[in-house]
Amino acid sequence: MQYKTSGTCSKMIDFEIEGDTIQSVSFTGGCNGNLSGISSLVRGMKVDDAISKLKGIKCGMKETSCPDQFARALEAYKAKENE
């Protein structure tokens, strides 16, 4: 799934979910080292666990962050799956 971010340096998040487990995550733009680390840490994590850990994280004075945007992307994925 692709998710267009808002309010962050990264512009897009591509991710794959199998069942309820995150298989892969790739960010377009943003801080490559930090985002590669986040991608590695959430690989194999349950979707709900990642949402609870990442949602609400802020970057500096911004109201959101790349991790928060990924949590929102996962929530959008869940909403779409439940349609």
DSSP 13-28: EEEEEETTEEEEEEEE
At the top level of CATH, the class of 2-81 is: alpha beta
16-63 pLDDT, tens digit each: 999 999 999 999 999 999 999 999 999 999 999 999 999 999 999 999
The angle formed by the CA atoms of residues 44, 34 and 15, to the nearest 5 degrees, is: 40
64-80 pLDDT, tens digit each: 999 999 999 999 999 99
| Bridge partners of residue 25, in order along the sequence | 15
Q: Given its phi and psi angles, is residue 56 left (phi above 0), alpha (psi -120 to 50 degrees) or beta?
A: left
Dist CA 33 CA 46 (whole Å): 23
Predicted TM-score (pTM) of the model is 0.95
In the chain, where the domains are located: 2-81
